Amino acid sequence: MSEMKDVCVIGTGAAGGVWIDACTRAGLDVVALERGPHLGPSDFRQHDELSNVHRGTGFAPTWQDTTRDHAAQVAQLGRSTMLARCVGGGTAHWGSWCWRFREDDFEVLSSEGPVEGANLADWPISYAELAPFYDAAEARLGLAGQASANPSGPPRHGGYPNPPHPPRRATQLIAMGAKKLGLHPFPTPMAINSRPYQGRAACINGGMCANFGCPVHAKASTLAIHVPAALATGHLDLRPDTRVIELVTGKDGRVLAARTLDASGRENEVRARTFVLACGGIGSAQLLLSSRSARHPDGLANGSGLVGRNLMFHNFTFVFFELPEPSLAALGPAGMVAIDDLHPSDASRGFIRGAVLGESAESGPIWSAYKAPGYLGENTRAWGKPLKDYLRRYPYLDGMIAVGEDLPQLDNRIDLDPTHVDAEGFPLARITYESHPNDRALHDFFDARLHEIALAAGATKSWSFDTSHTKGGTGHIMGTCRMGNDPNESVVDRWCRSHEVPNLYIPDGGCFPTSGGYNPTLTIFANAARTAAHFLESIARKETA
Amino acid sequence: MSAHERDTHFSRRAFLVSTTGLWISAGLPRPLAAAAAQRDEAPSVLSPDEWSAVEAISERILPADETPGAKAAGCVNFIDKALASEDAAALPLYREALQALEHACDARWKKKFVDLDAARQDAMLEDLESGSLPDWGAPGASQQAFFGSVRMHTLLGFLADPRHGGNRDFIGWRTMGFPGPVHHLGGAQPDQMSGKRRFAPIWERTPPRPSQS
Ligand SMILES: Cc1cc2nc3c(=O)[nH]c(=O)nc-3n(C[C@H](O)[C@H](O)[C@H](O)COP(=O)(O)OP(=O)(O)OC[C@H]3O[C@@H](n4cnc5c(N)ncnc54)[C@H](O)[C@@H]3O)c2cc1C
């Protein structure tokens, strides 16, 4: 049994890192429990496309999950998500595209009305309430971008802290093509230093951002920014390779301790006054559902029965294309131009909500090789001479992605697999997910638009890449611990505090009521800072009272 | 996707799924085989006959033409090392399917796979890909699962970093025009990204990887 800490943060990804930073800065003693190791640039230099893209061993060597479309199926064992298990969580290996949600993204139910089969909701907060925290997050992460270049973005004060990155050839071609179609392309806002910033190096344009750790920490992460800052205060007890297996509650209904398992298999208990569960949309739900007791037979903080439900992970639409001149896709970050004109919801298109579009460069040879069958078509065998000739086209290839809003549905969920267990004997997360008809219509619409943009960019050929089978492979995990005002309709309140367990906060991506159609993490950063600030104010009030 | 679904719903799309999926689903991955694979051309788990057969199959998947193919790139060495470590779960599939393939070659041509000419090898592989080799003697190792695995493994052996035992002399990267891991080569400058100045690929540099730790 260890000493009593002020705050125990579980998970060191986007949300956990922000809370660790805010609490230690305020002088609280924090213990941070992180399931994965504390990696750094020297480890990242040993990673390559085989380890990180194909095998996924760079960041989560033992990850397994099970997946199925709906409850009538038996879930199959596999490895669907590409989450990172390490200090920094998903921010260690993200692509770092950084979006603010639009104002209407916070009020989807009231702006759209109910939709059959979907469980739409408004956020309990507005864009205006989050805006100052977006400002602060952009400054902390050192975003590179061009202010007010997105005509469909929400209102913002002032510019980005750093200028946009230099474009590669393909980026320029896509931008020219989009302009021909009357669209307004602009540099994708990225949390990658375009010049040295706050003690971190400038980007060296090495590519290999998403799925990789940055070898020079030019890419922002809680690993490079928040955790080191917290360590420097002397108030952080960082424990990597420490997995929390249960939250133990006392008679008063508060969390007493986190039960942990370290790398050598030793169990321990960590005590604190306040617990912050930030294991990501899958990990947090899994831990709550595993923390069963007589008082909480369906898992902790689950009186609403909503823990794990309303799972969302966006709808990725990929289109790849062949350009008449080299794309130079291997040089620089993967996506340097974005198009957002088509984002605003318009029911006359046959679906509601929208997507942000962006370049998704043909970064590595293995990833490129995956797509040979799509390029070659049904009637050409994807091996032999045709395959080799396809590989030779690599320098001319590039891609685009639409990150589409998927609607929350009650039956899309994370729960505990009844048969499969991990190496330590605990149930794997089971992912049940089926697209809503609206998601499919949205996908088809944006698939067609991406082909048009590719054509306008001069592409001689374009083809789609179907990722509909990769459940959670987007890495954007949302909805599983919904935030709301009504304890019957949500898991946490507007401050990401459990409706039922007063000393438990769950500020990670799981709190999103809807998914926004933008990569989620800047919003996770901003919302975590907002909830941490409120927590610190509330304890300051108690102290002065 | 389970092995069972893979077998029963085979299609182009399923093929894509199964080949972009991972073999590790049947067991936990082992530590990286990179060190063990370095330039070690001796078989570690495949028998000499299995090694030759896999090498011959890989060469049909990525044949030599104007430029070298899978054999020259050492894809079989990559596969052997992968089957000894991370992809050990696929070794039984390889063993059983290779044996069944030799039986099928013997039944049809009275020859071993390696002794067939390229056209006959291709005919066998086409049947293997569509799962239509008759009297397949390996019920636990489906024809498509095996073909999909060797195909994907060959691509990986051609295109993964040479430290994993394939991509000899950067043959795979040269074929594609992939310059190598740019961050190991000192990074790129804006005029190289826009195409105004050429970025020299790894095989033109001495030493090839100046800054690797
Ligand atoms: C390849 C890839 C690219 C991405 N690119 C982008 C992008 O460009 N833009 C964007 O906005 N988003 C991107 N994302 C998504 C982004 O990574 C996530 O949205 C973000 O990291 C989620 O933050 P989080 O705090 O919710 O959880 P995470 O970052 O997932 O952190 C959870 C942490 O909790 C730890 N943990 C889990 N269970 C336990 C336990 N039981 N005990 C102790 N610790 C535990 C995990 O190891 C992990 O470190 C990308 C994701 C991937 C996979």
pLDDT in tens, B95-107: 999 999 999 999 9
Note the ipTM here: 0.93
Between A49, A373, A381, which is nearest B160 by CB? A49
- The domain spans of chain B are 2-180
- pLDDT of res. B8: 30
Contact residues, chain A, for B196 at CB < 8 Å: none
Question: Average pLDDT over chain A, rounded to whole?
Answer: 96
A277 CA distance to ligand 1 middle (Å): 13
Q: What percent of chain A has pLDDT over 70?
A: 99
- Answer yes or no: are the C-beta atoms of B202 and B180 closer than 8 Å: yes
Is any atom of ligand 1 closer than 6 Å to the C-beta of A33? yes
Please tell me the number of Cα atoms within 13 Å of A451 on its side-chain side. 11
What Cα–Cα distance (Å) separates residue A338 from each residue in A165, A346, A435, A526, B103?
A: 13, 20, 25, 21, 55
pLDDT tier at B12 (50, 70, 90 boundaries)?
very low
Q: Which residues share a beta bridge with A337? A: A187
pLDDT in tens, A271-297: 999 999 999 999 999 999 999 999 999
- pLDDT of res. A1: 53
pTM, entire model:
0.94
pLDDT tier at B39 (50, 70, 90 boundaries)?
low
- pLDDT of res. B3: 37
Mean pLDDT of A90-119: 98
Closest C-alpha among A417, A325, A301, A321 to residue A361: A321
- pLDDT of res. B59: 98
- pLDDT of res. A543: 78
- Tell which atom from ligand 1 comes closest to the C-alpha of A85: 47
Mean pLDDT of A530-539: 97
Query: 3-state class of A78 per DSSP?
Result: strand
A524 CA distance to ligand 1 middle (Å): 10
Query: What does the radius of gyration of chain B's CA atoms come to, in whole angstroms?
Result: 19
pLDDT tier at B9 (50, 70, 90 boundaries)?
very low
Q: Is the pLDDT of residue B20 over 90?
A: no
Question: Is residue A232 left, alpha or beta, with left meaning phi > 0 and alpha meaning psi from -120 to 50?
Answer: alpha
- Answer yes or no: are the C-beta atoms of A170 and B194 closer than 8 Å: no
- pLDDT of res. B41: 77
User: For chain A, which domains are there?
Assistant: 1-141+220-310+475-545 (3.50.50.60)
Burial class (CB in 10 A: 0-12, 13-18, 19+), A71: exposed
Mean pLDDT of A303-314: 97
Give yes or no for B139 touching A (CB within 8 A). Answer: no
- pLDDT of res. B210: 65
Closest C-alpha among B172, B195, B40, B19 to residue B90: B19
pLDDT tier at A463 (50, 70, 90 boundaries)?
very high
Note the residue count of chain A: 545
- Best-predicted range by mean pLDDT (A520-524, A540-544, B22-26): A520-524
Instruction: Select the residue from B144, B183, B198 to test the A interface by mutation, using most A Cβ atoms within 10 A.
Output: B183
Measured CA to CA, the distance from residue B60 to residue B127 in angstroms comes to 14
pLDDT in tens, A497-514: 999 999 999 999 999 999
pLDDT in tens, B133-163: 999 999 999 999 999 999 999 999 999 999 9
Q: Which residues share a beta bridge with A294? A: none
- Answer yes or no: are the C-beta atoms of A135 and A158 closer than 8 Å: yes
Q: In sequence order, what DSSP letters do the residues of A17-74 get, joined into one string?
A: HHHHHHHHHTT--EEEE-SS----HHHHTT--HIIIIIS-TTT-TT--EEEESSTTSP
B 94-133 residues with CB below 8 A of A? 122, 125-126, 129
Q: Which helix (H) or strand (E) holds A166?
A: none
Query: 3-state class of A463 per DSSP?
Result: strand
- pLDDT of res. A82: 80
| A44–chain B nearest CA distance, Å | 10
pLDDT tier at B37 (50, 70, 90 boundaries)?
low
pLDDT in tens, A161-176: 999 999 999 999 999 9
Note the residue count of chain B: 213
pLDDT tier at B207 (50, 70, 90 boundaries)?
confident
- pLDDT of res. A340: 98
Q: In sequence order, what DSSP letters do the residues of B147-159 get, joined into one string?
A: HHHHHHHHHHHHH
pLDDT tier at A470 (50, 70, 90 boundaries)?
confident
Measured CA to CA, the distance from residue A402 to residue A415 in angstroms comes to 28
Going by C-beta distance under 8 Å and a sequence separation of 6 or more, which residues neighbour residue A514?
Answer: A105, A108, A120, A121, A123, A312, A405, A407, A408, A479
Closest C-alpha among B176, B42, B59 to residue A391: B176
Closest-CA residue of chain B to A388: B62
Beta strands A242-249; A255-262: pairing state: antiparallel
Lowest mean pLDDT among A148-152, A220-224, B152-156, B171-175: A148-152
